[in-house]
Chains A and B, each alone.
Chain A
């Protein structure tokens, strides 16, 4: 079965750290770029970060750049999000999502997300 399964969420104090994991199965994990997308309680979707299939390129939303680090271990079919200096506004359900990208000779375009995990809740509170 093609699926993504996140883990690692929980309650953390402001300023603390947390590492999320996302295990992929049923597809060739290393062939696909992956993203983290979050959703604060009662709010909309917010793209957080992206990593290429090889792990060689990464992108971040302005709201998390410098605090979060995305990585992947293709030998374990697993995506990670290291979150440091957490703030109350980082409280959200974090989803990992498989990307569909189109690449030309010079650029790649993140077109859409065709597979989502169930999400893991991160609560930042004292």
Chain B
């Protein structure tokens, strides 16, 4: 099972919106609505941002939103803030004995 594909770097200015893509295969993202997104600040553990493609856990800002089309999922962050600068990872259920696959991660820089 191959890792999901994310852009290595994304940048934006405060107040702008950015979108991070996450491309998988018909066997993972394309087959299941079990796509999740995680935020990781340097030296910290990941935290859940989005689950089941587009749902936000309690306490997560509505500036974060998720979507999916075919084999590609997307995370959009609107109204960028400096504290959004972090690494972002997507994950998906695979339906195979390798249960879960993650993307390689995207480093977001807020200029």
* Cα of A102 to Cα of B36 in the assembled complex, Å: 14
Closest A residue by C-beta to B44: A118
Cβ-neighbour of A111 out of B52, B103, B105 (below 8 A): B52
List chain B positions with a Cβ less than 8 A from chain A: 1, 3, 32, 34, 36, 38, 45-48, 51-52, 57, 89, 91, 93, 95, 97-105
Number of interface residues of A (CB under 8 A): 25
CB distance from B27 to the nearest CB of A (A): 14
Closest 4 CB pairs of A and B: A112-B36, A112-B51, A44-B105, A47-B100
A111 and B51 contact, CB distance less than 8 A: yes
Chain A interface (Cβ within 8 Å of chain B)?
35, 37, 44-47, 50, 59-62, 95, 100, 102, 109-119
A116 and B34 form a contact (CB under 8 A): no
A interface SS class: strand
Assembled-state Cα–Cα distance A50/B101 (Å):
12
- The reply to whether A118 and B45 contact each other, CB–CB distance below 8 Å, is yes
Pick the residue among A111, A118, A119 that contacts B93 (CB under 8 A): A111
B105 nearest in chain A by CB position: A44
* Chain B residue with Cβ nearest A102: B34
- Interface centre among A45, A47, A59, A102, by most B CB within 10 Å? A45
Q: Bound complex: CA of A111 vs CA of B50, how far in Å?
A: 11
